[in-house]
Amino acid sequence: MPLPKAFSVFRTHRTLSIIVAGVVIVAATLAVVLVTRPTANRDPIPEGSVVAFYGDSYTFGEQASSPSARWSTVLSTAQGWDEQNASLNGLGFVANRDGTDAVQAVIDAEPDLIIVTMGLNDTFIAEAQLDELTTAIHDDLARFRAEAPQARLVVVEPFWIPAAQSPGFAIVADAVKAGAAEVDAEYVAGAGDWLTDHPEWRSDDQYQHPNDAGYAELARHMTIELEKLGVIAG
């Protein structure tokens, strides 16, 4: 039997009300999520801010003529930042972690900005230890998020040696990018190519680390990329 007209109209109105209410709830939920998620559209990091660097020998400044010539210090000096550099030769997300906790050193600095340039040393073990590597990347970045929530987090594609990029490099670079996305970190691509085909930017040590000119070039590229993100005022 057909429903009475008045009841049909009531049911239609009730259904529409439920749909509208559902849309409002969903919209409100999305608004809360968007407000609480980190965003790249924040003010630049001002002078006097504490900036912590988490990386390997390329950020430690191996083969620089002095600490003042390494790219992180060149960048920090130009921006007036208080540099806290927890980088170590040979360090990776998995590689050479015994006896050190560079993540804790970064957290203890109470930074306003964390710049992660890790992964080169993991490229040599990536194919054999992919699961361990993926977990380690996530754990380090998640720890920064949880224990230094005040800090803006920028994750950079690993730097690379003067050779064709290996399958291991591609694995690590992809894993680092995915790990950054998991914690909503800002990401800088292409750092593995910044010194490509420029032997004059390399030292003559066994591993051909950057020289002062190479570190200056890394600082120049990093400045450009941080300006794109709004971390540095353009």
Domain assignments of the chain as residue spans, ordered by start:
1-37, 50-229
Instruction: Give the separation between CA 156 and CA 107, rounded to whole angstroms.
Output: 18
> In CATH, which superfamily holds the domain spanning 50-229?
SGNH hydrolase (3.40.50.1110)
pTM for this model (two decimals): 0.83
8 A C-beta contact, residue 132 and residue 170: no
Of 153, 96, 92, 98, nearest to 123 by C-alpha is 92
Half-sphere exposure of 172 (CA within 13 A, CB side): 31
Residue-by-residue pLDDT tens, the chain, 234 positions: 443 333 333 344 444 344 334 433 334 333 333 333 444 458 999 999 999 999 999 999 999 999 999 999 999 999 999 999 999 999 999 999 999 999 999 999 999 999 999 999 999 999 999 999 999 999 999 999 999 999 999 999 999 999 999 999 999 999 999 999 999 999 999 999 999 999 999 999 999 999 999 999 999 999 999 999 999 998
- Positive or negative CA dihedral for 117, 156, 76, 49? negative
Residues making up the chain, counted from first to last: 234
Q: Produce one character per residue of 34-73: b if its CB has 16 or more CB atoms within 10 Å, e if not.
A: eeeeeeeeeebbeeebbbbbbbbbbbbbbbbeeeebbbbb
